[in-house]
Homo-oligomer: A and B are copies of this chain.
Amino acid sequence: MGKKITIYDLAKKLNVSPATVSRSLNDHPSISKKTKEKIIDAAKSLGYRTNKFAANLSQQKSNTIGVIVPRLNSNFMSTVLAGIEKVANDVGYNLIISQSLESAEKEVLNAKTLYDSGVDALMISLAYGTENFDHLTTFIDRKIPLLFFDRVFDLPNCPTILIDNEAAGYEATEHLINQGCTNILHIAGGLKRNVYCQRFKGYKRALEKYGITFKEDNLVEVDLDLSRVPEVITHIKESDPKIDGLFVANDTFAVHCIKELKKEGYNIPQDIKVMGFNNDPVSEVISPNLSTMDYPGYKMGVLAGQSIIGHLNGAINLQSANQITLRHTLIIRESTQK
């Protein structure tokens, strides 16, 4: 394998100008079929590969999309990413993925780096603590498409993709109530984030609807790290009147609550009925199987990808598809049986 070969090499070899080579390779209409073929053949046989650095510089675009997620290694996120990657890859976009690790500061740094890297668009799912959005408005100011998914925030002209967390929270709670629960504890993630805040709102609305008074004590806001399970268990043990229903904002946490509750001698669902959220694979593994809310991660990724790419291609305009709400589905399993 020799040196990298450039359009200049091709041009020289074929006695045409570099401009012609470039245009041929890009299938520009004003080049005759013959020359095009000649050049493309030569390019192929000489193993020409376009230098993206040069192309990027000259076109001021990178064919790259930046993605910032709270963490890569959660089932939900990696599934969303799989969806995004699929569509991006299919149309020739690269994905630069970075994780904020739930830190607002790191999110800012990530955004800066991606900005510097010249991504053509940014897709983001916010960290727990992000409150300031200057790192994102930079993108908007520079007309770089910005899309939120799952953990969204309302910025002008930014499409968002999510589910109706309020309705889902409502349905989850309603289900528990229908199963006979009257004292339902809700374990929420950071309430700054829409996903948790909305689920909580739904929870409250369901209580109201069924004439149950909401008690501050029945809301626990944690970061959903498993190390926080014990305090939740304590909370439940010390509850008076006794908690008889548990609505947890994510399956992983719910599953570990069940494990601990079982250890403490609780019968699930007889003593406490438990609802999760996400339909994570573990929900089908725990015994009793966890009732949960299905949350279409892969589809979310695919739609997010399609949306941003359509947008980059000018096919979709911002106004028309400013918010996509995906369907959620209540999944009833053993953990909430009467």
The distance from the CB of A256 to the nearest CB of chain B, in whole angstroms, is 8
Cα distance A85–B68 in the bound complex, in angstroms: 11
Binds B, one of A72-80, A198-206, A321-329: A72-80
- Could you say which residues of chain B place their CB within 8 Å of the CB of A50? 116
Query: Which stretch of A35-43, A96-104, A146-154 is in the interface?
Result: A96-104
Identical copies in the complex? 2
A57 touches B49 (CB 8 A): no
Q: In the assembly, what is the distance between CA of A259 and CA of B285, in Å?
A: 7
User: Does chain B have a CB within 8 A of A178?
Assistant: no
What's the Cα separation between A281 and B256 when bound, in Å? 10
Chain A 270-303 interface 0/1 with B at a Cβ cutoff of 8 Å (1 = within): 0000000000011011110000000000100000
A92 at interface, CB cutoff 8 A: yes
Q: Does A17 touch B at the CB level, under 8 Å?
A: no
Whether the pair B53, A57 counts as a contact (CB closer than 8 A) is yes
The verdict on A190 contacting chain B, using a C-beta distance below 8 Å, is no
- Asked if A306 is an interface residue, CB under 8 A from chain B, the answer is no
B78 touches A1 (CB 8 A): no
With a cutoff of 8 Å between Cβ atoms, the chain B residues found around residue A71 in the complex are 82
Find chain B residues with CB under 8 A from A336 CB. Answer: none
A295 vs chain B, min Cβ distance (A): 14
Whether a CB of chain B sits under 8 angstroms from the CB of A7 is no
Contact A96 B64 (CB under 8 A): yes
Interface residues as binary, A29-53 with B (CB distance below 8 Å gives 1, 0 otherwise): 0000000000000000000011111
Residue of B nearest to A67 (CB): B97
Does A62 belong to the interface (CB within 8 Å)? yes
Residues of A198-247 at the interface with B, using a CB-CB cut-off of 8 Å, are none
Given A53-B60, A73-B81, A259-B284: 18 more A-B contacts, CB < 8 Å? A49-B115, A52-B118, A53-B53, A53-B56, A57-B57, A64-B96, A71-B82, A72-B72, A78-B78, A81-B97, A89-B110, A94-B98, A94-B117, A97-B97, A256-B285, A281-B282, A285-B285, A287-B287
Which A-B residue pairs are the 8 nearest by beta carbons?
A78-B78, A53-B57, A73-B78, A1-B141, A53-B56, A73-B82, A287-B287, A73-B79
Q: List 15 A-B contacts (CB under 8 A).
A: A1-B141, A51-B118, A72-B79, A72-B81, A72-B82, A73-B79, A73-B81, A73-B298, A77-B78, A94-B96, A95-B97, A256-B285, A281-B282, A282-B282, A286-B287
